[in-house]
Structure 1
Amino acid sequence: MTQIATMSESEFEDRFLITGPRAIAFTLAALAREATPFSVHFGGELFVTRLLDASPEDGCLYFDYSGVERLNKRLLGEGRCSFAGSPNGIQVQFAVDRVSETVFQGGRAFSAPLPARILRLQRRESFRIATPRGRPFPFFGRLAEGALWESSVHDLSVAGIGLQVGSLPEALAVGERLWRCHFHLAEEAHELYCNATIRHLTEQEARAGNRLWRVGLAFEDLPMNDQNRIQRYIAHVERERKEMGV
């Protein structure tokens, strides 16, 4: 059983979540000074931004405008959005409930209330499990040319997902992005949405002698709430396996 799977909800929060306005503002201000890039995810759209500052006094986070005006207007209309970045290989994610237009140091910018919490998860803590064979679930993603690709999920972590397929779409390659991906965990109706990048393609021989492909994808912008869902799913599967003696 993995370490995260044995943690209680409070233990998980103590270890991986930053809470409290001053601690959150300090963390975000440090990331702003480092010019760490973050993807902003909202309403099925995203763009890359950088944090400008975070203030515990006014309770606000400031971040840069997109170069695409359509996305700026869409974000202001949506309000709620989530941020994802990987400073020094550590996944950092948080969400805000509303976004406003402002001016920061003479330039157009966005402001938002400080998030209620920040998730920090190192890659070595992104445990991966094989999905139960009796409860497989599909994964859907859009290829570069827009075609919808469906495949079966083989393994899963909060950092990415492993697929198993009998054949690959033409010209699929490491480094290619899949857009508007979505899947749901077994026995859950809630869909998880993100974009993903192909990290590896591995050809294998199945027991029956036919060839299979394993495809490893890294999530780019999976919201923090959905990462928490995956953590709970992993813990649930691990507990079931322990009870069954698997």
Structure 2
Amino acid sequence: MKKNIKKIILFLLDTIRKIRTIYRNYTSPSPLVYSPGHYAYKRFIDEELNESYLYFKKYFYEAIFLPKERLRKYAIETALKNDKGENKYYMEFGVYTGESTNFFSSKLNKNLNAFDSFEGFNEDWVGHAHASGDFSLNKKIPKLNKNVSLEIGWVQETLPNFIKLNPDMKINFVHMDMDTYNTSKFILENIKPYLEHKAIICFDELYNFEGWKVGEFKALTETFNENEFTYKCFSNDGAQVVIEYN
């Protein structure tokens, strides 16, 4: 009986040792312990995170850090402080399962105009690990709050039509969750003329991940000059960033 218990204990200790070794090999920065299957991608991630840190560090001193959920709350509440009862617009690009859509709309006593095709990406998310078609819901629409006004289809088709129908709109809040460069730039270029002073734009993937330079960040910096916006908040557990339009 005692021999069996001893064997079990030794087996468990040996298993723990092996797991710890595997973990150290995967997380170690030394290229000598990387397996050929993941070395290049992991090194790319490490270098991208470092470059992101070095670029954004100068903005950290004038912004705050919050976890993702608190960041979203901060974004919508900051926008509402700028809403003086006028008919301002609140918009979201990228609904997916509706988690953020329902959260933002629950804070509003007006409509949230939300755009999505529910067919996933219409382009590869270059620099990252997702291809065209990823995140598709096969056009199945999730359950959303009653004050969500959906624009269903590719945003390159639905947004221009929406603008034509609302030529005098004043945009006070935008949640950007399209991820990829071309789509994000198309949106930002089209909505920029309608942004209110101090409008809030909450980006879901702007920094702190691999490929950050060629996604939403690239779209932002090609559409806005640096003096046209201020970094307000950075996620301390993700890639989200909140900016304020000057």
TM-score, normalization by structure 1: 0.22
Query: Higher relative contact order by CA 8 Å / sep ≥ 6: 1 or 2?
Result: 2
Answer with 1 or 2: which has the greater Rg: 2
More strand by share: 1
Higher helix share: 2
